[in-house]
A and B are shown apart, each in its own frame.
Chain A
Amino acid sequence: MRRSGRIATPRTAGLSATVLTGYGLAAVLGGLAVAVFALLLAAGGDAQSAPPYAYIGRVLGFTLWQAFLSTVISLLAAIPMTRALARQAQFPGRMLLLRLCALPMVMPTIVGIFGVVAVYGGSGYLAWAADAAGVDWQPRLYGLAGILIAHVFFNLPLAIRLLLPAFASVPAESWRLAAQLGMGSRDIFRIIEVPLLRQQLPGIAIIIFMLCFTTFAVALTLGGGPRATTLEVAIYQALRFDFDLRLGAMLAILQVIFCAGGAWAVWRAGRQMVLGNTARLVAYRYDGRASLARLADFGVIILGAVFLTLPILALVQRGLAGMVAAASVASLLKATMISLGLGLAGGLTATLVGYLIAQARQRMLSSGQKRGAMLLGLTGRLGLFVSPMVIGMGIFLAATGSIDLYRIAAAGVILLSAVMALPFVLGVLEPALEVAAARHDRLCAALGLTGWNRFCHIDWPTLRRPIATALALSSVIAMGDLGAIALFGNQDMVNLTLLLYGQLGAYRLDGAASTALILLGLALAFYWTIERVVGGRELH
């Protein structure tokens, strides 16, 4: 490894077991992805027809356009909202609002769609309000507008959750200095917050862009027709409808190229900023105290909260009404236990793997290997930009004849959902590790603190909160999993999401609404508990 000029790191510490395991895990992930693509490409396909280039081009154009718009709108909304939340650090309901932000992550897509439609649809809250007010107006949801509303609903909360820790990480000294210099709100934004955003936004933008790029049901259902076809739909069409594995793999590779390219571009636009060594005092921001600033902040917060909670409110209303038609207590209880068990197992796996990969990436970054660090970061995000369907088909293609996947279904579901949740873990841990490294690497090097000792005495106390957030987020994502559990199809392994789909498929829409409510309530409690138990009390 290259010796770093800036931080005198002893060689032994540079290649610790942690870092090596991180490299190893990333290599396994990357190798698996390559193997999956190679297998699918080799499996061949429909040789007599050439790929429908015009169709693919049109689909690609639409996919990029809607993903771009969704990302930009989500971020543009997230910045003022997060800033307002950071400036107003104490008001009743703040914690609840922040925890509600975890809900869209666990929400099965179809439930989110129903929630959005219940607000913005032809017979939703908005239409009802317009009618009550005597305004002759009908919302026109289906089309690009519907896709964007749903994507912002799903991704704005995620952006807030990921962005807020950054705002909170501005050291107390900065605020004191800013106060001393008499900096106004605009100066603070320009001098303190913009550099912060330049560092944080790229990573968040990538996640949202990829989530929107690989969208499927949202685009089809709310898009109004086949003009709203995304690349993921084309992949589905190739793999399932035409069983043209080669075309499916080629489209999936196209998806990887665009996502990775987007990630690369965004990363370049970002800027590394080291917050430096501080006394880690806790300080409240002094701006946002003036009544005008308060008014503006609360205006933004209320607007955002209404946007976020209205669909959730609609789901709660429908869920409560559907309780009479709920599934039997026994099956709900069983599904709940399975959801929690698989969620915790998937979340723990994702967090552990994510921590190791993020450590390895940090080591590369500290020793100046920017490209290597980026490659590690991208590898960890494979679950985001490789279509789950491609991963699933690849696994079954690889295993058939040698491994009986149906016998190890539980392990398979846990591992696969961990891969899917890994990008979110990295989204939380990478920036946290960067800050921790900047603060403690020199000290640890000087004291010769390495390995487990360093983790216990230095890293755990400072990283406890981000680790808790990563674990909570990934557990909740694994808990709401549908793709992995449906892939293995084990009849005894039915989580709440699958139970809900079973109800929907059997006309039991009211019962499904009640299951959705239970799933959301449980996710909220689960998230809350993990953040509290693992993360300890809030600092302020």
Chain B
Amino acid sequence: MRLKSFLKSTILASACIVVASSALAQDKPVLTVYTYNSFTSEWGPGPALEKAFEVNCTCDLTWVALEDGAALLARLKLEGKNTKADVVLGLDTNLTAEAKATGLIAPHGTDVSALKLPIAWDDVDFVPYDWGYFAFVYDSEKLKDPPKSLAELIDGKDAPKIIIQDPRTSTPGLGLVMWLREVYGDKAPEAWAGLKPKILTVTKGWSEAYGLFTQGEAPMVLSYTTSPAYHQIVENSDRYKALVFPEGNYMQVEVAARIEGSPQPDLAKSFLQFLISPEAQKVIPTTNYMYPVLDIGADLPPQFTALPKPEKSLLLSPEDAAVNRDAWTKEWIESVSQ
């Protein structure tokens, strides 16, 4: 009998908990954020940001984690006005003009005056949350005398070999195409012809390239100036170093935006505001290994402060990037396929 009543009360209690928790879950408004999956992985900024944001918002922050920025934009275009997203996070300035053209992006309505970026930020739709410089990262154990400029890398003999990414499938790959265009203008095809003999292979994404690089396939890879900070902070190693070139390094700025017509406009606004708060920004360096968009003072690890910074920051406007992306990628295919 005692067992029976015990079982009964257990069932009753658990039923109460289930009902109560589902009621609670329904009470809380849900903020859906579309992003890319390395952002929400346990090594990315996602989990810490979610926890910090949910403390104050009395809401449920839900991620939808897609493959990458391009997948994100494609999903938005597919879903159009029916999208479940309240916020989209993880586009970069190469994609923002196209995202804007969908008519799905609402003005951020956020105060961005405190931001500290190498460029002035006056976009009224997109809020930047981190940024970095593309750079060639080299293995100092294999390469004693790395090229000192982009020109030296391009004009040099067959060595050193580099691994780059395909601009059609990867953000850094597209970044390099823009970079060479910014430096060499219409002479970019000639520059690519000079670079071609040094290219060991062109990978689908950053992960393949970086994996092959650390496996020792080539002494140089296209990555970010901030990559060495990871090896210093986590692996305590100075082996990998990034090159800054006197011609300047091309930038990547990652952004977030609100979706027009979302049922949670206030929540979305407060999320964007939170994203550029010191609390969120201090999570960025050691998770995404990019620079924060705020001066977070002592919260920026010393390994980041010690990183080399290029004299010149190169970045095309979103409009120029959108207009030329196709033509320049075709040009790249032609010059590298020859």
- Is A299's beta carbon under 8 Å from chain B? no
Contacts A110-B211, A502-B37, A503-B41 given; does A233 touch B227 at CB 8 Å: no
Decide if A225 touches B336 in the complex (CB within 8 Å): yes
Q: Which residues of A contact B206 (CB under 8 A)?
A: 505
Decide if A226 touches B201 in the complex (CB within 8 Å): no
- A110 and B209 alpha carbons, distance in the complex (Å): 10
Decide if B74 touches A121 in the complex (CB within 8 Å): no
Residue of chain B at shortest CB distance from A110: B208
**Which stretch (A214-222, A344-352, A370-378) binds chain B?**
A214-222
Q: Identify which of A229, A489, A490 gathers the most chain B CB atoms within 10 Å of its CB.
A: A489
The 5 closest A-B pairs by CB, nearest first: A502-B41, A505-B38, A123-B216, A506-B43, A401-B82
Apart from the given pairs A486-B66, A502-B38, 20 other A-B contacts in the complex at a CB distance below 8 Å: A117-B212, A121-B212, A122-B218, A142-B201, A220-B202, A220-B203, A225-B336, A227-B337, A239-B74, A400-B79, A404-B84, A489-B34, A489-B65, A489-B66, A490-B65, A494-B41, A502-B37, A504-B210, A507-B227, A507-B231
Decide if B234 touches A225 in the complex (CB within 8 Å): no
A6 to chain B, nearest CB (A): 51
Decide if A506 touches B44 in the complex (CB within 8 Å): yes
Decide if A502 touches B202 in the complex (CB within 8 Å): no
Decide if A224 touches B202 in the complex (CB within 8 Å): yes
B72 to chain A, nearest CB (A): 10
**Contact among B70, B78, B200 with A224 in the assembled complex (CB-CB below 8 Å):** B200
Decide if B64 touches A489 in the complex (CB within 8 Å): yes
Residue of chain B at shortest CB distance from A142: B201
**Contact among B42, B71, B207, B215 with A504 in the assembled complex (CB-CB below 8 Å):** B207
Decide if B37 touches A486 in the complex (CB within 8 Å): yes
Decide if A113 touches B202 in the complex (CB within 8 Å): no
Q: Which residues of B contact A121 (CB under 8 A)?
A: 212, 215-217
- Is A91's beta carbon under 8 Å from chain B? no
A31 to chain B, nearest CB (A): 21
- Is A94's beta carbon under 8 Å from chain B? no
Q: Which of A106-121 contact B (CB under 8 A)?
A: 110, 113-114, 117-118, 121
- A102 and B283 alpha carbons, distance in the complex (Å): 41
- A490 and B205 alpha carbons, distance in the complex (Å): 22
- Is A498's beta carbon under 8 Å from chain B? yes
Q: Which of A222-280 contact B (CB under 8 A)?
A: 222-227, 229, 233, 236-237, 239-243
What per-residue 1/0 map shows which CB atoms of B56-97 lie under 8 Å from chain A? 000000111111001101110111101110000000000000
- Is A508's beta carbon under 8 Å from chain B? yes
Residue of chain B at shortest CB distance from A404: B84
Contacts A491-B40, A491-B64 given; does A509 touch B211 at CB 8 Å: yes
Residue of chain A at shortest CB distance from B50: A491
- Is B250's beta carbon under 8 Å from chain A? no
Decide if B43 touches A498 in the complex (CB within 8 Å): no
- Is A406's beta carbon under 8 Å from chain B? yes
- A490 and B65 alpha carbons, distance in the complex (Å): 7
Residue of chain B at shortest CB distance from A505: B38
A224 to chain B, nearest CB (A): 5
CB-defined A-B contacts under 8 Å, sample of 28: A110-B207, A114-B211, A114-B215, A121-B216, A123-B216, A217-B204, A220-B203, A220-B204, A225-B201, A226-B337, A229-B333, A237-B169, A240-B70, A396-B78, A400-B78, A400-B79, A486-B37, A489-B64, A491-B65, A499-B41, A502-B43, A502-B44, A505-B38, A506-B43, A506-B44, A509-B210, A509-B211, A509-B214
Residue of chain B at shortest CB distance from A503: B43
Q: How many residues of B contact A (CB 8 A)?
A: 61
A432 to chain B, nearest CB (A): 37
Q: Which residues of B contact A509 (CB under 8 A)?
A: 210-211, 214
**Contact among B205, B230, B337 with A507 in the assembled complex (CB-CB below 8 Å):** B230
- A327 and B44 alpha carbons, distance in the complex (Å): 13
Residue of chain B at shortest CB distance from A118: B215
- A106 and B179 alpha carbons, distance in the complex (Å): 38
Q: Which residues of A contact B214 (CB under 8 A)?
A: 509
Q: Which residues of B contact A404 (CB under 8 A)?
A: 84
- A406 and B63 alpha carbons, distance in the complex (Å): 11
- Is B326's beta carbon under 8 Å from chain A? yes
Q: Which residues of A contact B326 (CB under 8 A)?
A: 242
- Is A89's beta carbon under 8 Å from chain B? no
Decide if A506 touches B38 in the complex (CB within 8 Å): yes
- A514 and B220 alpha carbons, distance in the complex (Å): 25
- A487 and B84 alpha carbons, distance in the complex (Å): 15
Decide if A221 touches B204 in the complex (CB within 8 Å): yes
Decide if A243 touches B74 in the complex (CB within 8 Å): yes
- Is A72's beta carbon under 8 Å from chain B? no
Contacts A122-B216, A491-B65 given; does A220 touch B211 at CB 8 Å: no
- Is A501's beta carbon under 8 Å from chain B? yes
Q: Which residues of A contact B204 (CB under 8 A)?
A: 216-217, 220-221
- A229 and B211 alpha carbons, distance in the complex (Å): 21
Decide if B43 touches A393 in the complex (CB within 8 Å): no
Q: Which residues of A contact B42 (CB under 8 A)?
A: 327-328, 331, 502
Decide if B78 touches A397 in the complex (CB within 8 Å): yes
**Contact among B38, B83, B215 with A123 in the assembled complex (CB-CB below 8 Å):** B215
